[in-house]
Amino acid sequence: MTSKDLSIFNSLRPFSIGFDDMFNQFENMLGNGGMSMQSNYPPYNIRKTGKEKYSIEVALAGFTKKDVEVEFEDNMLTVRTKQTDKSENKDQDGEILHKGISQRQFARSFTIADDIKVNGAELKDGLLTIACERVIPDYKKKKLIEIK
């Protein structure tokens, strides 16, 4: 995306109130070519599982719960590997002679809207599933304004 394309966001700023964070996030994601430089590892799906429910599925074959952490801070959900001792080539099943299953370090981040609540995460059969739900506060719900 070029700076010319970003000018669309800048031209919308005078006509909106309270969307500065959203425009800044678009500029951060698209302005530096960040989208094209982001790795495709690990692969993921974003699924709508109900009217106001979503799940993020991240393929993590070969990883266990103790290898991965999920962090949510300031509208950013990040799935990353924990620091591990790479000098250890032995496990309970014996010494690894050839390592063909990738367990490389990664960090995958998702921008989460203000009204989305992260309900939890489960790692089962190599698939990490993060449950999310849209919680609409009363002040954002549709209401009829009385005319005086």
* Residue range 47-65: mean pLDDT, rounded: 92
As for how many domains the chain has, the answer is 1
Question: Per the domain annotation, does 91 fall within a domain?
Answer: no
Q: Domain range spanning residue 31?
A: 1-38
* Residue range 112-140: mean pLDDT, rounded: 92
pTM of the model: 0.66
- The residue that leads in pLDDT, 40 or 121, is 121
pLDDT for 62: 83
* Residue range 69-80: mean pLDDT, rounded: 92
Name the pLDDT band for 8 (thresholds 50, 70, 90): low
Question: Per the domain annotation, does 120 fall within a domain?
Answer: no
Q: Are 108 and 80 in contact (CB under 8 A)?
A: yes
Q: Are 42 and 58 in contact (CB under 8 A)?
A: yes
CA-nearest of 53, 35, 56, 36 to 44 is 56
Question: Per the domain annotation, does 26 fall within a domain?
Answer: yes
pLDDT at position 87 over 60 = no
